[in-house]
Amino acid sequence: MLGGVLAVPPNATLGPPPVWGRLTGLEEPVVEAWSSNVDLVADEQAFEVHLLADVVLVPVRAFDPDLRPVASTILAFDAHDGALLWTLSEETLTCARPQTSLVCVTGSGADASILSIDLTTGDVRRTAAPQALAAAEHDGDLIVLRADPDGERVIRYRGWTTANEQWRRVVGPIAGETSYYRRSIEPSAGQLVISSTRGAVLDADTGEVLLENTTAYKVSDDVVVVAEPNGGQLRFYPLHGNDVITRPRDASPICVDDDPRADLYISRLPDQPTAVSASTGDTLWTAAIADSPAHTVARQRGTIIVRTEANLYGLDATTGDQL
């Protein structure tokens, strides 16, 4: 496997908000800044990359024949020249989105602990946290999702002192031994988006339940999408700001979007790309794509970009005409 970073021109910037996944000022072509070999064995997968200001993080997992994770490694590269800065290997690692540090849970049951990893040096601060399932840091406080006898519970501590709780809240039942649920905590806009046996959105300061029985998934390092229960709306939580956006349930999450507040959204229900008005529910246009189904991947500068199994198509966002 070969990993690399593309350098963009100096005038390329992110924004203006609220946008995600988009750089402006790319009139000049991108060039390869560096590349680095990442040696993987047969049972290992590198499933995501985090590109930060000074560090590129590449998590690698090894799986057993039943596709259960059995080992985790994090590789950290210098974002400027590709030099390997550090590696960390543990039995398993469940990590939050990198911020000023990387917060991960390792181990399970009574042997679980939480790691705070310095992004530059790889130095690790280890805190015992029996039964921890996921963890994150918010305003300097440790937040943990833990398996307790009466359910899966979120606890916010004062700082990293686990004897000093601010609040605690049960968010879902204990999972069965053969079941699998993704666990995560995503702080956004003064709220905590929780993935557990039952998803929830909590007030970060008080632990009050704002939404329950939700489904959350991360579109990119920029936004988490929360589906309200019982066919409710989608809520888009930018992870670098306070601008929560709501859209109808059939809205297609777009990884790269320079106009997420536009009234027009692309419905994911028909096979053909269909633009709908969020305010009226009226269908604005439907594009005929020969090799459908097509999936929306970007909206940029008045163009909707959709992909099929074989092709990419650019559509005029106003008319649906193929460009």
One digit per residue, the tens of pLDDT, for the chain of length 323 reads 344 444 444 554 444 455 555 555 556 666 777 888 888 777 888 878 888 888 989 888 888 887 777 788 999 999 888 899 999 999 888 898 888 889 999 998 899 999 999 999 999 999 999 999 999 999 999 999 999 999 999 999 999 988 899 999 999 898 865 567 788 998 888 899 999 888 899 999 999 999 888 888 776 667 788 888 877 788 888 776 667 888 888 888 887 888 888 899 988 877 788 999 999 999 999 988 888 788 888 888 889 988 888 888 899 999 999 98
Closest alpha carbon to 267 in 292, 240, 249: 249
Is residue 10 reached through a cis peptide bond, with omega within 30 degrees of 0 on the bond before it? Answer: no
Distance CA 16, CA 258 (A): 8
CA distance 233 to 214: 11
Give the gyration radius of the chain's Cα atoms: 21
Domains defined along the chain, listed by start: 1-92 (2.40.10), 131-248 (2.40.10.480), 250-323 (2.40.10.480)
188: Cβ–Cβ under 8 A, 6 or more apart, which residues?
A: 224, 237, 238, 239, 244
